[in-house]
Amino acid sequence: MALIVQKFGGTSVGSTEKIRAVVQRVLGYHKQGHKMVVVLSAMSGETDRLINLARDIQKIPDPREMDMLVSTGEQVTVALFAMAVNEAGFDAISLLGDQVGIRTSGLHTRARIRNIESKRIFTHLDEGKIVTIAGFQGVTESGDITTLGRGGSDTTAVALAAALKADACEIFTDVDGIYTTDPNICPKARKIDRISYDEMLELASLGAKVLDIRSVGLAKKYRVPVHVRSTFTENDGTWVVEEEKNMESMLVSGVTYSKNEARITLNKVPDQPGVAAQIFLPISDAGIIVDMIIQNTRAGSLTDMTFTVLRTDYDRAMDLLKGIAKEIQAESVTGDENIAKVSIVGVGMRNHSGIASTMFQILAKEGINIMMISTSEIKVSCIIEEKYTELAVRALHDAFALDKENIPVEEKI
């Protein structure tokens, strides 16, 4: 008899029919005597729908009110799930973040979990109930509802698995595991059987939304093995675990993309000490994350400052920058939301040169212009026009032969 945390994503609970199917699956484990904690997302498309409703009312809504709104999507699915369990003749109880005591920081729309009170969950499990918990949400010390950021239900599930010391944490989704790239845009993507926390952290940080990055960080910290698998098949999925000796060590292990990017340029900024701080301090104070930064010197004492932010922060960033531009006497602020970031990731890159230049050649061959570049020891990212994203991902996946397993590094360069 085990304690199992299972999380089902939006597409898995996208209709009452699908909820009934998920209930049957969970009941299969329950009937074997396992204690089941089930974390659910909102129905697919629901969180986007709620965000759009808010935007219809106000361009930059108050983050606290935003959390009041978007957290409702999960309330619907957990209640329906509990009803479907009861209808099937078993006992279940649905709980929201504050009822479980998922305490978070007060940073609305991207709060961090601080601790979870497990008592109530154990009480209901001991009563023989299936406990279903709304993902993505928590509550501050002062009782305000928070959300954990998009994709945050994964984080709820892993945090619960850690707090309850669960025997297993399974993330059920619409693909049957973690692939070398998004299988929905690259048919040649190859499923990975086991992947280390570190490598998955990289993939997630660069856009592989199959797992929310904070869930991977928590899994690593608390050594929770995570099984990512499909809601719609019985197949084994991918295990995210600590690094093992015989794990595939590829030069490039994955290709990722993120369309949640926007580019902002401050034109003709006076090139003098302190200007960068004047620009980026207020931005970071507003909780806006800046990714790549490029500074181009013009003739004379002026410079252009270009950087990227999350597209979801774009309106707020532009609003702030208009004020900053005036203060520092920059000529203008321009922005572009039609960009994407494509990246190649792999710990094997550490000791090899020429990977970045190969990437640039491949993109050039496809006629794709690179607007910005950033590199680290184990990744290379390029900003390109959004419309070329799929083409770029497929070309890179082909060029680095990611559809083939364990190709010796030397053969690949």
Query: Where on the chain is the footprint of ligand ADP (CB under 6 A)?
Result: 9-12, 41, 151, 173-175, 178-179, 181-184, 203, 208-210, 254
The binder of 206, among Mg ion, ligand ADP, ligand ASP, none, by C-beta within 5 to 8 A per type, is: none
Interaction pattern, residues 2-21, with Mg ion; x per rule: CB under 5 A: -------x------------
Closer residue to ligand ADP, CB minimum distance, 45 or 287 = 45
* Closest approach of ligand ADP to the CB of residue 255, in Å: 8
Contact 409, 358 (CB under 8 A): no
Closer residue to ligand ASP, CB minimum distance, 156 or 306 = 156
Closer residue to ligand ADP, CB minimum distance, 77 or 109 = 77
The binder of 138, among ligand ASP, ligand ADP, Mg ion, none, by C-beta within 5 to 8 A per type, is: none
The binder of 346, among ligand ADP, Mg ion, ligand ASP, none, by C-beta within 5 to 8 A per type, is: none
Measured between alpha carbons, how far is 63 from 51 in angstroms, rounded to an integer? 11
The binder of 14, among ligand ASP, Mg ion, ligand ADP, none, by C-beta within 5 to 8 A per type, is: none
Q: Applying CB under 6 A, which residues contact ligand ASP? A: 9-10, 41-42, 47, 73, 135-136, 150-154
Closer residue to ligand ADP, CB minimum distance, 12 or 265 = 12
The binder of 93, among Mg ion, ligand ASP, ligand ADP, none, by C-beta within 5 to 8 A per type, is: none
* Closest approach of ligand ASP to the CB of residue 70, in Å: 7
Measured between alpha carbons, how far is 79 from 74 in angstroms, rounded to an integer? 9
Which residue reads 């935007």 in tokens? Answer: 55
The binder of 137, among ligand ASP, ligand ADP, Mg ion, none, by C-beta within 5 to 8 A per type, is: none
Closer residue to ligand ASP, CB minimum distance, 204 or 283 = 204
Binding of residue 177 to Mg ion (CB under 5 A): no
Closer residue to ligand ASP, CB minimum distance, 135 or 346 = 135
* Closest approach of ligand ADP to the CB of residue 303, in Å: 36
Rg, Å, the chain Cα set: 23
Measured between alpha carbons, how far is 221 from 323 in angstroms, rounded to an integer? 40
Measured between alpha carbons, how far is 211 from 181 in angstroms, rounded to an integer? 13
The binder of 179, among ligand ADP, ligand ASP, Mg ion, none, by C-beta within 5 to 8 A per type, is: ligand ADP
* Closest approach of ligand ASP to the CB of residue 160, in Å: 13
* Closest approach of ligand ASP to the CB of residue 71, in Å: 9
Q: Which residue type does 243 have?
A: E
Closer residue to ligand ASP, CB minimum distance, 43 or 384 = 43
Closest CA to 133 of 89, 163, 98: 98
Closer residue to ligand ADP, CB minimum distance, 250 or 325 = 250
Binding of residue 151 to Mg ion (CB under 5 A): yes
Query: Could you list the residues that contact Mg ion (CB under 5 A)?
Result: 9, 151
